[in-house]
């Protein structure tokens, strides 16, 4: 059965991996850099995270992921952080973020639920069709 975004977010291993990425992105007024990664399904069915190389202040490079597979494992979600909280920075997913997910033919696997965008206040989900919805408060998910 395909996973829901809510199920992925409530997986404790995934939660702590996302929180680690958030911490690593050094959130603050303007000193942060983006971090991100794929949530993949391991051969035993469990979920884990494969991190991307660190990004810049407001952009991050996604490594190749042909046919929605990375490291030989099915990609079920992707994520990146928006760590800069200053007013020059967009907290919600940008038009570029939405287009990047929507137009990526290698992010259209049967299992793929979308890309989480983690901001200080809210965790968003960009669906494979490029639609944005708010998933939850970041502090609720991270329990801080
Ligand atoms: Zn973004």
pLDDT at position 2 is 72
97 alpha carbon – ligand 1 mean position (Å): 5
- Helix, strand, coil percentages, rounded to 5, for the chain: 25, 30, 45
* Closest C-alpha among 62, 18, 14, 22 to residue 41: 14
What string of pLDDT tens digits covers the 144 residues of the chain? 678 999 999 999 999 999 999 999 999 999 999 999 999 999 899 999 999 999 999 999 999 999 999 999 999 999 999 999 998 899 999 999 999 999 999 999 999 999 999 999 999 999 999 999 999 999 999 986
34 alpha carbon – ligand 1 mean position (Å): 8
Q: Give the global pTM.
A: 0.96
44 alpha carbon – ligand 1 mean position (Å): 31
CB contact at 8 A, 107 and 100? no
CB contact at 8 A, 37 and 18? no
5-142 in CATH: which number? Answer: 3.40.140
142 alpha carbon – ligand 1 mean position (Å): 19
Query: Domains of the chain: which residue ranges?
Result: 5-142
């Amino acid at each position: 059965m395909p996973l829901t975004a809510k199920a992925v977010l409530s997986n404790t291993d995934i939660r702590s991996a996302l929180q680690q990425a958030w911490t690593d992105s050094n959130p603050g007024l303007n000193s942060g850099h983006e971090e991100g990664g794929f949530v993949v399904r391991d051969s035993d069915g469990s979920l884990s995270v494969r991190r991307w190389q660190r990004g810049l202040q407001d952009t991050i490079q996604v490594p190749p992921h042909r046919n929605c597979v990375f490291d030989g494992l099915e990609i079920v979600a992707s994520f990146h952080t928006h760590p800069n909280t200053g007013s020059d920075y967009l907290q919600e997913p940008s038009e570029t973020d939405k287009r990047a997910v929507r137009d990526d033919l290698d992010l259209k696997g049967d299992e793929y639920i979308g890309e989480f965008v983690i901001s200080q206040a809210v965790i968003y989900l960009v669906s494979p069709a490029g639609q944005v919805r708010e998933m939850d408060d970041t502090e609720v998910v991270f329990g801080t």
